[in-house]
């Protein structure tokens, strides 16, 4: 899997401040956001890389490890533990790693780039005789990867497949209907490869659901405003309402009050991983006051007002 330079992704250098990272991410995320680049695979790939870079560099602890260990930053603690064990073995005369001193090369002022690690890792984990007691190489699980994926509310109505690009690798996943904003799913074994034959890490995908202009979601239920003319509100009648799956006709009771609600059972969101189950849609009537009245209409309203008093 190709190494991604997070600083390069954000168009920054290693001296960037937290504010620089935040501003760069916001600027580039807007530029490459999937909503602004529909059906653009390169823009989607760039957006995923931006999220990954921001995830690491905006976290002081993760950034410190990344600056020190480069692409292997998530294995840093394991390497340091191995080096300390090696140093102890050498100090007690129990053998070592081909003369490599575990006390060297780990100072806080040292910085290792991806290319500078080759001899170091060969000494600690490769090369046959080094690595662990008995000539066996230590196996380490690969790092977990985190990615985010953006969908519209209407994209979550049906189970469907999508292709994500993570670290330059295309991964086809199934997105269940009804997935919620902020929900994370795990794709086992699709993280980074393990070290010395260790198991691969997992991929965690966080879903961002963009708000819909017409419907507000709360769990499995939807809420919307339905405009109603004053004549239908007073006299009753029929009105057409939009749902996420199409239009429906509703009967309006006479003397319907502004702000009153009606429930459309089963017209909400599909329930996550429960096929055939749906939430409800709640419509709130917004009665519209007529404007630009003719003289005749105004007279009728005046008569109505007099008769009501």
Taking residues 63-90, report their average pLDDT: 71
Please check the confidence at residue 275 and state whether its pLDDT lies above 50: yes
| β partners of residue 175 | 160
Which CATH code is given to the segment(s) 140-211?
Answer: 2.60.260.20
Least confident among 173-182, 194-203, 255-264, 268-277: 194-203
Do the domains at 140-211 and 216-308 have one common CATH topology?
yes
Please check the confidence at residue 92 and state whether its pLDDT lies above 60: no
Question: Nearest Cα to 86, choosing from 127, 128, 125?
Answer: 125
Percent of the chain surpassing pLDDT 70: 78
Within 13 Å of residue 98, how many CA atoms lie on the same side as its CB?
15
Spatial distance between the Cα atoms of 110 and 100, rounded to a whole number of angstroms: 17
Q: Which CATH topology does 216-308 take?
A: HSP40/DNAj peptide-binding domain (2.60.260)
Per-residue pLDDT of 221-241, as tens digits, reads: 999 999 999 999 999 999 999
Domain-wise residue ranges, the chain:
67-135, 140-211, 216-308
Spatial distance between the Cα atoms of 4 and 143, rounded to a whole number of angstroms: 14
The structure tokens listed for 248 are 């429906």
Please check the confidence at residue 93 and state whether its pLDDT lies above 80: no
Which of 29-43, 59-73, 74-88, 225-239: highest mean pLDDT? 225-239
Least confident among 110-114, 135-139, 217-221, 303-307: 110-114
What's the confidence (pLDDT) of residue 215? 97
Per-residue pLDDT of 10-43, as tens digits, reads: 999 999 999 999 999 989 988 888 778 877 888 8
What's the confidence (pLDDT) of residue 270? 97
User: Strand, helix or coil at 111?
Assistant: coil
What are the start-end ranges of the E strands in the chain?
Answer: 145-152, 160-166, 169-175, 184-187, 203-210, 216-218, 221-229, 237-243, 246-252, 261-264, 281-288
What's the confidence (pLDDT) of residue 309? 73
Please check the confidence at residue 148 and state whether its pLDDT lies above 70: yes
Give, in order, the Cα–Cα distances in Å from 298 to each of 229, 277, 295, 301, 303: 16, 50, 5, 5, 9
Helices 76-91 and 118-125 pack at an angle, to 10 degrees, of 60
The pLDDT confidence band at residue 55, using thresholds 50, 70 and 90, is confident
Element (H, E) at 268: none
Task: Kindly report the average pLDDT of the chain as a whole number.
Answer: 81
68 or 248, greater pLDDT? 248
Taking residues 183-202, report their average pLDDT: 88
């Amino acid at each position: 899997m190709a190494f991604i330079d997070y600083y390069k992704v954000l168009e920054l250098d290693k001296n960037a401040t937290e504010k620089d990272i935040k501003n760069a991410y916001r600027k580039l995320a807007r530029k490459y956001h999937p909503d602004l680049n529909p059906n653009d695979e390169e823009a989607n790939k760039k957006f995923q890389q931006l999220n990954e870079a921001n995830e690491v560099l905006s976290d002081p602890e993760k950034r410190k490890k990344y600056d020190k260990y480069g692409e292997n930053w998530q294995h840093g603690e394991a390497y340091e533990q191995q080096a300390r064990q090696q140093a102890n073995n050498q100090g007690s005369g129990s053998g070592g790693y081909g003369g490599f001193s575990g006390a060297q090369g780990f100072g806080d002022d040292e910085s290792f780039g991806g290319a500078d690690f080759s001899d170091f890792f060969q000494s600690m984990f490769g090369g046959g005789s080094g690595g662990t007691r008995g000539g066996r190489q230590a196996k380490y699980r690969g790092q977990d990867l985190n990615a985010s994926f953006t969908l519209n509310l209407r994209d979550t109505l049906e189970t469907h497949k999508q292709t994500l690009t993570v670290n330059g690798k295309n991964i086809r996943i199934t997105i269940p209907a009804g997935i919620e904003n902020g929900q994370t799913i795990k794709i086992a074994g699709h993280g980074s490869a393990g070290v010395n034959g260790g198991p691969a890490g997992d991929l965690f995908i966080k879903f961002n659901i963009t708000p819909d202009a017409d419907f507000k979601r709360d769990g499995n239920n939807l809420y919307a405003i339905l405009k109603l003319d004053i004549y239908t509100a007073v006299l009753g009648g029929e009105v057409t309402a939009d749902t996420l799956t199409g239009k429906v006709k509703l009967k309006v009771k006479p003397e319907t009050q502004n702000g009153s609600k009606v429930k459309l059972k089963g017209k909400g969101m599909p329930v996550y991983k429960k096929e055939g189950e749906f939430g409800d849609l709640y419509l709130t009537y917004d009665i519209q006051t007529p404007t630009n009245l003719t003289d005749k209409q105004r007279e009728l309203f005046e008569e109505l007002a007099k008769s009501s008093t």
